[in-house]
Structure 1
Amino acid sequence: MTLPLRVAVVGAGPAGIYASDILTKNDPDATVDIYDRLPTPYGLIRYGVAPDHPRIKQIIVALHRVMENPRIHFTGNVHVGVDVSIDELRGYYDAVVFATGAERDRTVAIPGIGLPRSYGGADFVAFYDSHPDREQTWDLSDASSVAVLGVGNVGLDVARILARTGDELLYTEIPPHVHAALSNSAVTDVHMFARRGPAQAQFTPVELRELDHSPNVQVVVHPEGMEFDEGSEAALRESKSLRMVVDVLSQWAMRDPEDGPQRRVHIHFLENPVEILGDETSGVTGLRTEHQELTGDEGIRGTGVFTDWDVQAVYRCVGYRSEPIAEIPFDDRKMVLPNVAGRVLQAAGPDAEVLPGVYATGWVKRGPVGLIGHTKSDAAETIANLLQDAPHLTKAPHRDRAAVHAMLVAKGLPVTDFDGWDRLEDFERAAGVAVGRERIKSISRPEMTEVAGVR
């Protein structure tokens, strides 16, 4: 008799939930337990998407339907690799799939990066999304002009939130402390800097257009960076989405400045940040960039022409990175779990062997690139390989969910489950109704755990 497949998925964001859904659809006997170190599911959607993106947050509706599958079980407040070792987990599951994502900032190796008021974009995202384990205070009152390094979707989110007023976001789920920080903001000008040209921009048309939706914000595209070469033209011919981005940017570059909006977002192309100016006492006092020129093949080179920009804060949005997981190999160069098509390797390198029964999906597998929708095809590849390997995997000796729960309780872990998420959601909606809003996000891990805790 073949035992039904038992799989643990570590990470309850879209990557982990999609993988669980694909697995249970392709193996009608398989069961999945999804673990997350937070008391809540949904990962990036809850703690990485700007609060004024309700369209993206609606993905939660589809993810909720997946989580209602009785063969999929959510366990929150368990940090795998810290609270529970991988060896312990393998005693209860035939395979483990890591979907832990990437939520920390990549570093930028330029002088002054460590000065006061030089921030990681991911840290600011965690603040305005009220991540319970991250900084819950943010002072926006000490800088009127700020720089955002990078023009990807995260950079657009950070620039947009910096430029909006607190009251503009009261229709969202932001809690009072985020509203207060935005209401006390002194920011009038946000300068976004891109090393490359507009045809190499990494944001999507929808994200770009949303930058111009606020009646209180004027978007200014500086025309001196709107340059194209043969490589740019080739890229535009190959991508409808990129052509739409460039069309919007070109329209904005040609329009006259307005008198009305008091806040401005400036977009500068072909300006490479080379130094953050200031000192440890004064903090950031400026940003130095070197103007770039296109080389004809979508490449760039410095011109030796430098500009000092009067800014008092810098937000670096040059990409996210994954974090190592205890007992699991990690590729420090690519900042992912070393893997081949989702099969985790015993070490980083072309000659490394597969680590049996351990898999990866999502950003911890391929790096922080692509949109949420790309995660489905990524999960499909990983799960296809897991199912191919399944007949050869060592079967876990303990196969009862009750045994896993008993082990977690014996460790004194205040676990939460999916019914608890529904209770927490009701709690947040009730908090919103009390002040005439749809919901207000809970920011305290103890509070979330108490509301959502297993009954």
Structure 2
Amino acid sequence: MSWVLRRYLSSRLICPACVHQTSHPARLLSSQSASTPRVCIIGSGPAGFYTAQSLLKGDKSLHVDIYDRLPVPFGLVRYGVAPDHPDVKNVINQFTTLATAGRCNFIGGVSIGKDIQVKELLDAYSAVVLSYGAESDKMLNVPGEDLPGFYSARKFVGWYNGLPEHSTLDPMMDTDTAVVIGHGNVALDVARILLTPLDILKKTDITADAIEALKHSKVKKVHVVGRRGPLNISFTIKELREMIKLPDCRTSINPEHFAGLETIIPELPRPKKRITELLLKSAQSAPSSQEKARQDAASGEWHLDFFRSPSEVLSSSPLGENGRVAGVTFDVCELENVNGEEKLVKTGESETIPCGLVLRSIGYKSVQVDDFIPFDHQKGVVKNELGRVEGIQGLYCSGWVKRGPKGVILSSLNDSIETAKCMLDDINSGAMDTSKPNGQDRVLSLLAERGVTPITFSDWTKIDAEERARGELVGKPREKMTRIEEMMDHALAEKENDGQEER
């Protein structure tokens, strides 16, 4: 029997010696009948867990296995939510309850398309759900986008949150001015992290490496720049309020960009009305004497700039090969009524913001992790109808890979409910094949043959406990491990020792 399978059986309190060597050595794991729907979900972020939750609630016999390429669960909640937003991460408690209550297994450290193929999963499970999120970026496609000092906001977020693949990013913050291109929540997140006093960040789960780098950062001014106007921003009022009230930081918004908006505000939907009123107040109203004194004493500042479309990222060495970011040139735009339709047009003017750091935050894209998946590369989504993947029976999708990277975490809930409903309808109508044997057995056997060591939820709790213990020593909720090798060592150390004692 392979050590991988022995370790997995031990995690479920099954005596490895009781499992006879056969061509399917893990078969005794299965306690469900052949007619039990067994679903595989790829991706353990909010979309994956919410889909599992809806499926398990809708069918009391159904079982779900949630796979992830990383040894740790929770995806975007762990690696995408800003460290100074701990309340947003409380959903982890809900997901933990789901993963430990039975009928739901987490299987980490398994890369789909590499360690195992989607078609192999479809052969093993009643259904497979793609919920692996967005792992690429939309590009500006302007000169200079590849210069040192220019980064994707997605990678920057991954860096300060400890995502292993981005933990060595080492962003160049030896400059007084940074430019963030984009007007979404992520854009405000990265601007806030750059300007938040270290005494505040030190009490969050931001990584130790990020704290050390920010300690030496010289960034004092951040421009958050977008192509369109105040009515087209994508960030929420909560994020905006945080930026306006950020300690030791003042806000600068050009009041000229709000000309004529006062007459439109009463007609806006309530959420848009509230945020536009706050923007207008911040741009046009004189601050109180107390607020003015706070702003005057602030060492940092952020600017919210509208109607600016990037045309070129400037190099510090235009004629040489060793240059870095030196600024961004923007085309000045305005909204015009063209044949009864409001369109953004260039005025012919341009503006350059000198800076040494640029963060692109104009959106993410999902990627095709397996050639077998019908994929729209232009939109960056799986081809689907209400979550049913086009042309492949038993294959579904949910979350960003289904609808594109839009909305907050709770947006994934409604989206996942829609996909789960389609799946439950297919079970009830007989469109889904529920006669397949326990798919987990077959997949674990294949992984063992390929030398892949899966990580269970029980394994993850050891990583979790160690991170919390490290954090407690320095006054933080946790100190994240940023290397996969270290995670694996902590998850498997006890079982490796058990295996040696057995021998």
TM-score, length-normalised on structure 1? 0.93
The letter for the 2-side match of 1:447 is E
| Closer/same/farther in 2, CA of residues 59 and 395 from structure 1, 3 Å limit | closer
Quote the Cα distance in structure 1 between the aligned partners of 2:210 and 2:352: 31
CA RMSD of aligned residues (A): 2.0
The answer to whether the 8 A contact 2:332-2:350 is kept is yes
The answer to whether the 8 A contact 2:159-2:210 is kept is yes
1:3 partner SS: coil
The match for 2:474 is 435
Quote the Cα distance in structure 2 between the aligned partners of 1:423 and 1:156: 34
Alignment of 1:308-319 (within 5 A): 308-319=352-363
TM-score, length-normalised on structure 2? 0.84
| Closer/same/farther in 2, CA of residues 283 and 452 from structure 1, 3 Å limit | same
2:109 partner SS: coil
Alpha-carbon shift at residue 452 of structure 1 (Å) = 2.4
Deviations 1:233-289 (A, max 9, x none): 37x634211122112212221346632111111111112222212244221111111
Alpha-carbon shift at residue 229 of structure 1 (Å) = 6.0
The match for 1:419 is 458
Say if 2:326 is the partner of 1:285: yes
Say if 2:409 is the partner of 1:379: no
Alpha-carbon shift at residue 87 of structure 1 (Å) = 2.2
Alignment of 1:320-331 (within 5 A): 320-326=364-370, 327-331=372-376
The match for 2:406 is 369
The letter for the 1-side match of 2:459 is G
The answer to whether the 8 A contact 1:140-1:186 is kept is no
The match for 1:248 is 278
Quote the Cα distance in structure 2 between the aligned partners of 1:38 and 1:228: 50
Alpha-carbon shift at residue 167 of structure 1 (Å) = 3.1
2:417 partner SS: helix
Deviations 1:48-76 (A, max 9, x none): 11111112111212222222230010000
The unaligned stretches of length 5 or more in structure 2 are 1-32, 496-503
The letter for the 1-side match of 2:74 is Y
The answer to whether the 8 A contact 1:17-1:63 is kept is yes
Deviations 1:405-432 (A, max 9, x none): 3332232112111112222211111001
The match for 1:22 is 54
The match for 2:21 is none
Quote the Cα distance in structure 1 between the aligned partners of 2:223 and 2:305: 7
> What fraction of aligned residue pairs are identical, expressed as a percent?
36
| Closer/same/farther in 2, CA of residues 396 and 233 from structure 1, 3 Å limit | farther
Answer 1 or 2: which has greater helix percent.
2
Runs of 4+ in 1 over 6 A off after TM superposition: none
Alignment of 1:89-128 (within 5 A): 89-128=121-160
Greater shift, 318-327 or 280-289, is seen at: 280-289
Quote the Cα distance in structure 2 between the aligned partners of 1:227 and 1:65: 51
The match for 1:307 is 351
Alpha-carbon shift at residue 228 of structure 1 (Å) = 4.7
Alignment of 1:158-177 (within 5 A): 158-177=190-209
Say if 2:380 is the partner of 1:335: yes
The answer to whether the 8 A contact 1:127-1:135 is kept is yes
Quote the Cα distance in structure 2 between the aligned partners of 1:150 and 1:216: 23
Quote the Cα distance in structure 2 between the aligned partners of 1:89 and 1:141: 44
Quote the Cα distance in structure 1 between the aligned partners of 2:260 and 2:216: 40
The letter for the 1-side match of 2:464 is E
Alpha-carbon shift at residue 115 of structure 1 (Å) = 1.8
The answer to whether the 8 A contact 2:196-2:247 is kept is no
The unaligned stretches of length 5 or more in structure 1 are 346-353
* Count of aligned pairs: 445
The answer to whether the 8 A contact 1:39-1:448 is kept is yes
Alignment of 1:183-332 (within 5 A): 183-228=215-260, 233=264, 237-254=267-284, 255=286, 258-278=295-315, 279=318, 280-296=321-337, 298-326=342-370, 327-332=372-377
| Closer/same/farther in 2, CA of residues 189 and 139 from structure 1, 3 Å limit | same
Quote the Cα distance in structure 1 between the aligned partners of 2:432 and 2:478: 45
Aligned counterpart in structure 1 of residue 446 of structure 2, from 382, 407, 411: 407
Considering only CA atoms, is the larger Rg found in Structure 1 or Structure 2?
2
Alpha-carbon shift at residue 397 of structure 1 (Å) = 4.3
The letter for the 1-side match of 2:347 is T
| Closer/same/farther in 2, CA of residues 398 and 228 from structure 1, 3 Å limit | farther
The letter for the 1-side match of 2:283 is A
Quote the Cα distance in structure 2 between the aligned partners of 1:165 and 1:332: 40
Deviations 1:324-346 (A, max 9, x none): 1212121011110011111111x
Alignment of 1:112-151 (within 5 A): 112-151=144-183
The letter for the 1-side match of 2:346 is G
The answer to whether the 8 A contact 2:69-2:108 is kept is yes
Which of structures 1 and 2 has the larger relative contact order (alpha carbons within 8 angstroms, sep 6+)? 2
Alpha-carbon shift at residue 2 of structure 1 (Å) = 7.1
Say if 2:87 is the partner of 1:52: no
| Closer/same/farther in 2, CA of residues 202 and 239 from structure 1, 3 Å limit | same
| Closer/same/farther in 2, CA of residues 101 and 228 from structure 1, 3 Å limit | farther
Quote the Cα distance in structure 2 between the aligned partners of 1:306 and 1:412: 57
The match for 1:153 is 185
The answer to whether the 8 A contact 2:367-2:377 is kept is no
Quote the Cα distance in structure 2 between the aligned partners of 1:339 and 1:141: 42
